[in-house]
Amino acid sequence: MKNAELTELLKGLVAIPSPSRKEKDAADYLQQRLAGFGLEPVRKGNNLWIEEEGRGDGRPVILLNAHIDTVKPAEGYSRDPFTPVEDGDVIYGLGTNDDGASLVALLEAYVRLLPLRRSFRMIWSATAEEEVCGEGGLDSILPELGKIDLAIVGEPTGMKMAVAEKGLIVLDCTARGKSGHAARDEGENAIYNAIRDIDWFRTHRFERVSDYLGAVKMSVTMISAGTQHNVVPDNCRFVVDIRPNGLYSNAELMDIIRGSVSCEVVPRSLRHGSSHIDADHPVVKRAGNIGIELFGSPTTSNQTLLDFPSVKIGPGDSARSHTADEYILKSEIAGAVDVYVELLEGLEL
C-alpha cells in the first residue's frame, strides 16, 4: 500500500466514532477497506484478523495486534475530534495516536513481509474493547487463532520496545468487628482491625524486583467505615490498588496477600496480568541488534490478556493518548513501518 492509502485509511477510522463496545461501524468500514485492498479478513464481533496461509505447517506464529476502539473525547478539544485534519506532517483526530497509527503501520508491515522468506507465520488483528479490557475484544478471538508464539502489540511508544508492562489488580477489602456503644467498653472496632492490614499493605515489600518496572506497588486508595459517632463500627471497607511487575502472576500475589492479612479480600478482576519477556528472547535480542531502545511500561494494553511472550511497540507518544487535540505524524507512521519490517524480517524464533 502507498503512504497515501494508509493516511486515508486512518482518517476514515477517525471519522467514525468507536468508543469501547461501540466499534461496529468502524469494524464495518475496516472490513470493507481491507477487502478493497485484496485482503480477506475474518470477523468475530467487532474484531478482524488476517491470517497468513499455512496453519499447521509447523512454523511459529507471530500475532500483530492493535485496537480500533477509543476513549470518549477529552474536554478541551479545539477542533471536532471526529473530523480528521491534515496539516503538513500532522494528522489530528481522536484515535490517531491511540491506536490508529499502530493499526495501519502493522497492517503495512504485514503486507510488506508476506512475500519475504521468513521462518514464521503471521496473523494481523484489529480488535475491540481494549480501552476497557472487555471480554468482547482480543480475548474473544484468541481461541480462534491457535497457538501463538509471540505477539507484537502496537501502542504509542515512540518505537521504543516495552519488554515489561505493569498489570493491575484492584482489591475490595473488608475488615470485620462487632458493633457496640462507643461510651462503654464493648464491641470490636473494625477500623482498628483494618489498620493492621492497611499497615501491611503499606509496608510489605515483595522479594522479586523487575529491572524495568521495579517492585510490586500496593496503595490503599479508599476507605469507608461507621454510621454515627457513638457506634463502634462492625465493618471497615477499603480499596487497594496493586501494580504487578511481571515477576509474579496475579494468582501468586493473591495467595501471598490472603496469607498475610486477616480482612476479607475480593479482587474485582484477575484478568489484567503484567508481562515480562525474557532478556534472551530472540525478539529482544533482535531489537538490541538494530538499536531499538528497551523500557518498562507503566500503562496497560492488550498484553494484559496474553499468556505467551509479547512486546509492545508502536508509533506516537503515550503522553498524547486520551488528551484533547490528539495527533500523529505521518512521518512517525512511515518510520514505524520500516522499523517493524526490519525487526521481523531478520527474526528467527
Dihedral pair phi/psi, residue 95, rounded to 5°: 90, 0
Task: Give the whole-angstrom CA distance, residue 200 versus residue 301.
Answer: 29
Is the pLDDT at 185 greater than 90, yes or no? no
Half-sphere exposure of 235 (CA within 13 A, CB side): 6
| Residues 240-279: tens digit of each pLDDT | 999 999 999 999 999 999 999 999 999 999 999 999 999 9
Task: Give the whole-angstrom CA distance, residue 186 versus residue 165.
Answer: 48
Task: Give the whole-angstrom CA distance, residue 146 versus residue 25.
Answer: 27
Is the pLDDT at 208 greater than 90, yes or no? yes
| Residues 26-49: tens digit of each pLDDT | 999 999 999 999 999 999 999 999
**pLDDT value at residue 88:** 97
**pLDDT value at residue 3:** 83
Q: 346: which residues sit within 8 A by CB, 6+ positions away?
A: 286, 289, 290
Q: Is 287 in a helix, a strand, or coil?
A: helix
Closest alpha carbon to 319 in 98, 100, 65, 159: 98
Task: List residues bridging with 334 in a β-sheet.
Answer: none
Average pLDDT on 323-329 reads 97
Q: What are the cell numbers at 67?
A: 485496537
Residue 191: which pLDDT band, with cuts at 50, 70 and 90?
A: very high
What is the C-alpha R_g of the chain?
A: 23
**pLDDT value at residue 296:** 97
**pLDDT value at residue 170:** 97
Is the pLDDT at 15 greater than 90, yes or no? yes
Q: Is the pTM of this model over 0.95?
A: no
Q: Which residues of 61-95 are buried (b: 16+ CB within 10 A; e: fewer)?
A: bbbbbbbbbbbebeeebeeebbebeeeeeebbbbb
Residue 65: which pLDDT band, with cuts at 50, 70 and 90?
A: very high
Position 31: which residue type? Q
Residue 74 near residue 319 (C-beta atoms within 8 A): no
Task: List residues bridging with 91 in a β-sheet.
Answer: 86, 328
Dihedral pair phi/psi, residue 125, rounded to 5°: -140, 145
| Residues 282-312: tens digit of each pLDDT | 999 999 999 999 999 999 999 999 999 999 9
Q: Rounded to 5, what percent of the chain is helix, strand, coil?
A: 30, 25, 45
pLDDT averaged over every residue in the chain:
97
**pLDDT value at residue 76:** 96
